[in-house]
Amino acid sequence: MRLALYQPDIAPNAGTLMRLAACLGIAVDLIEPAGFLLSDARFRRAGMDYLDQLTLVRHVSWEAFQAARTGRLVLLTTRGQTPHHKVEYREDDVLMVGRESAGVPESVHDAADLRVRVPMRQGLRSINVALAGTLVLGEAMRQTNLWPGETV
């Protein structure tokens, strides 16, 4: 299982997701351009010293990511029809979050094999990507028994 960040634009959220991935042993695909430098102090502060433990693959573009990707692309989106907890996740899934400011373009949306949403109360716009990514990754790992140190 992998976590993909599509052109992240808020450094603390990207750092938080990367710290989570490092702690859980999940690889991260960073699809550039990012809206900040990886040396950004806010990014480093959110990731703390865990970033050295992260398996990170940087892709110069969406096309480069697509050329390298294996597994099913699961897009987390407010436009998803399927609630995240009603999906059968697979060990080779790539869970993707979009930009905080704009999500993903229609071409990326259309390329996803599956589009899921985190159910929320009506009238509220969205959960931030770090929290949504955490919720969905947790459910996917629970279903696939990928928690570090856990055995079936």
Mean pLDDT of 33-62: 77
Q: Where are the alpha helices (DSSP H) in 28-148?
A: 41-47, 62-68, 106-111, 129-144
Q: Minimal CA–CA distance to 95: which of 86, 82, 106, 84? A: 84
Return the structure tokens found at 75: 């897009």
- The H helix count followed by the E strand count for the chain is 5, 7
pLDDT score for 46: 56
Q: Assess if CATH 3.40.1280.10 describes domain 2-144.
A: yes
- 127 token code pair: 């959960």
Which of 3-7, 82-86, 125-129 comes out lowest in average pLDDT? 125-129
How is residue 32 annotated by DSSP? S
Where are the domains positioned within the chain?
2-144
